[in-house]
Structure 1
């Protein structure tokens, strides 16, 4: 996916999308993978990550919100990633099957950053 299209999709006002957009505009790398997966699969995976992430004190943005949005989304999603230029943050993007909209976004601070 071209950078300018991803910039347009990240125009939301939630904390994770705002941070992902700022990272992208500051030179972050990005990728959107081919193929789709049911949103509920990602919801289950990220639900399992909530507790250990909190227990370990790992800083996240929008993780709980992303899980809620994925649970509500009854269509497959494409997965994308934005990695901040300094490597401190990784943002996971969940896009509609046609890449027309952002379903959810979450960010995690990398250990040691």
Structure 2
């Protein structure tokens, strides 16, 4: 899969797809792993992470929509991957069909900063 292939696949599946696409266009790195996992297993894992994020007052763009999409996909085998901004300020998780020709779901956005990072670490 090429960068252009992935850019073309990132449409409006979730609210995170546009920013993920912009990150790739700006030169961000991406990887798609070879392993295949049933979509509903991903749904269970990320539903738990969504609940945890909400308890801590965090929101993740496209996560709720991705969990719903993954739940509906059932036993369909999916590949996972990630897209990282060059400056590491944003990260996205992507889910593709087994042949990596269709993007199924995407979530992510700006990485959370720790209090030390936002205050500026000493040099």
Structure 1 segments of 4 or more deviating over 6 A?
A: none
Confirm or deny: 8 A CA contact 1:59 1:108 kept in the other structure.
no
CA root-mean-square deviation: 1.5
Query: Which deviations, in whole Å up to 9, do the C-alpha atoms of 1:19-57 show, x marking residues without a partner?
Result: 100111111110000121000111000000012212223
How many residues are matched?
Answer: 113
How many angstroms apart in 1 are the aligned matches of 2:69 and 2:82?
17
Which structure 2 segments of 5+ residues have no match?
119-123
Q: Which runs of 5+ in 1 are unaligned?
A: none
- Could you tell me how far 1:14 is from its partner in structure 2? 3.4
Match of 2:83 in 1: 82
TM norm structure 2:
0.84
2:107 match: 106
Aligned 1:1-113 pairs, distance under 5 A: 1-12=1-12, 14-74=14-74, 75-112=76-113
* CA–CA distance in structure 1, aligned partners of residues 27 and 69 of structure 2: 27
Task: Report the TM-score, using the length of structure 1 for normalisation.
Answer: 0.91
Q: Which one has the largest radius of gyration?
A: 2
Q: Could you tell me how far 1:85 is from its partner in structure 2?
A: 1.8
